[in-house]
Structure 1
Amino acid sequence: MREISLDRLRTLVTIADHRSFAEAARILHLAPPTVSLHIQELEDRIGAPLLSRKRGHVRPTAIGETLLARARRLLADTELAVDDIQRQVQGLEGRVRLGASTGAFAHLLPQALEVLEQRHPSIDVQIAVLTSQETLTRLKEGTLDIGLVALPQPATAGLVIKPWRRDPVMAFLPAKWPCPARVTPKWLSGRPLILNDSTTQLSRLTTEWFAADGQRPAARIELNYNDAIRSLVAAGYGAALLPHEGGANAAQDTRMVVRPLRPALWRQLGIAHAAQVDRSTQLALDVLSKLR
């Protein structure tokens, strides 16, 4: 079955609104024979007259009125759809799907979300709490737009991975413990430990930090939720090695103390995204890039 062109419907609506073929041709920038052809094609497709032309007056027939009502809705929906898409292309509206770890979500992303809300309130940011590997997998699948991942990561075809921020890893210790000014691998390995699980980049970093000093401690428990780890430290369950994200831990529990490491250890985060991004994603990337 042959489809009806929106251009033909627009011609019909314009004629009906202005009661004139000639005026419709002028408004639509079409030759008068083309306007007549559009109506003839519609009438052939419908199988009935759509316009009545008597004594110089043009009026819709009963069938024409029915089609006009549907045509106006179709044309309005089309204009709305085009406008919505154009607003997304311009970054005025849109959706950004972002993956990040619990630590980044709790302490770093709120700043970016606040700025985005102020500057681009029509951009909907959807967040998934994921490990770095899960984030990269979903970026490759196209189900995420931006990912905050621990570095280093291997080069991945179709993805851009850029360094974002570098935070010191610190020792989080129960305040009741007698603690040195700087914590060494040897001192810490003899204490109960709460460590990130072995699937994380932070686990690999801390394992290498201990191993460089010949230490291979066993964790009392492994978790992948930094706020829960901090709560256990404050409760006296053990010590942890966690990133210290600027002022993120300023309101720290007084039952816990934070000490620098010797030798120092750093956790670096990167921003990952597809090589080609839409306007909304680029605006979100611009905001994130300034949070260092």
Structure 2
Amino acid sequence: MREISLDRLRTLVVISQLGSFAAAARQLNLAPPTISLHVAELESRVGATLLTRTRGQVRPTVIGETLLVRARRLLTDAEMALDEVRNQVQGLTGRVRLGASTGAIAHLLPEALEHLRSEHPGIDVQVQVLTSQASLVQLREGLLDIGLVALPQVAGKGLAVTAWRRDPILAYMPADWQPPAAVTPKWLAERPLILNDSSTQLSRVCTEWFATAGLHPQPRIELNYNDAIKRLVGAGYGATLLPQEGEAMEADPRLVCRPLRPGLWRQLGIACRDARQERATTFVLQALERLGQ
């Protein structure tokens, strides 16, 4: 069954508003025969007369009025849909799906999101807690637009990973341990440890730091939630190695942090699809890049 064209419906609406085929032709910038053809096609499609001429005035029939009610609604909906798409193309609105670790979400993203909300309030950033590998997988599958990932990473076909920021890794310990001014692998390996899960890039970096001193300590527990790790440290359960992510919102007097000797760094990158980005995604990337600087 042939569909009814929106152009034909628009013609019917304009004729009913102006009461004239000729006036409708002028407003729509169409030839008068085209206007007549549009009406004839609609009448053929519905199987009834839609317009009548009375004393030189064109008026809709009862059936024509019924179709006009629906036609106006359809044309309004179509225009609203086009407006929404135009706004998204221009970056005024849009949805951006972003994956990151709990630490990045808690300590790094808020500043970028606050800036984005000020500059581009119509952009909705949907954040998911994901490991670096999970973010890359979802990017490849088209389920994610941006991933904050620990470096180094092999992007793979269709993805791009760029360096974003470099944060020092510090030792966090119970305050009553009285640690030295700078913590060495040997000093820390002799104490109970709470470290990140072995599947994470942070775990691999910390393992290499101990290995440079010929040490391979076994942690008491492995977790991926940095705030939970710090709570355990504060409770005296052990020490940990974590990146310094932004400023601490509230200092915990039960724990202290010290720099490492030799120094250690956690590098983060921004992963996204290696293709032209939607404007909304571009604006989110710009907000993140500003934070990285």
TM-score range, shorter chain: over 0.9
1:263 aligns with 2:266: no
The residue aligned with 1:228 is 228
* SS of structure 2 residue aligned to 1:155: coil
SS of corresponding position for 2:177: coil
Unaligned 5+ runs, structure 1: none
Q: What letter corresponds to residue 46 of structure 1 in structure 2? A: V
**C-alpha displacement of 1:60:** 0.2
Alignment-derived partner of residue 249 in structure 1: 248
For residues 207-246 of structure 1, the C-alpha deviation after alignment (integer angstroms, 9 at most, x for no partner) is: 1111111000000000000000001111110000000124
Cα distance between partner residues in 1 of 2:28 and 2:283: 37
Question: Matched residue pairs, number?
Answer: 291
Name the counterpart of 2:121: 121
RMSD of Structure 2 on Structure 1 (CA): 0.9
TM-score between the two structures when normalised by the length of structure 1: 0.98
Task: Give the superposition deviation at 1:180.
Answer: 1.1
Identical counterparts, % of pairs: 66
Amino acid at match of 2:254: R
Letter in 2 for 1:21: F
Mapping 1:178-217, distance limit 5 Å: 178-217=178-217
Alignment of 1:138-149 (within 5 A): 138-149=138-149
Letter aligned with residue 126 of structure 1 = Q
- C-alpha displacement at 1:155, in angstroms? 2.8
- The question of whether the paired residues in 1 share the 8 Å contact of 2:43 and 2:49 is answered with yes
1:69 is matched with: 69
State the distance in 1 between where 2:291 and 2:184 align. Answer: 31
Give the CA deviation at 1:143: 1.0
2:280 is equivalent to residue 280 of structure 1: yes
Matches for 1:87-106 after TM superposition, within 5 Å: 87-106=87-106
Give unmatched runs, 5+ long, in structure 2: none
TM (norm. structure 2) is 0.98
SS where residue 271 of structure 1 aligns?
Answer: strand
Partner secondary structure for residue 9 of structure 2: helix
Do the aligned partners of 2:96 and 2:125 also contact (CA within 8 Å) in 1? yes
What secondary structure is seen at the aligned counterpart in 2 of 1:287? Answer: helix
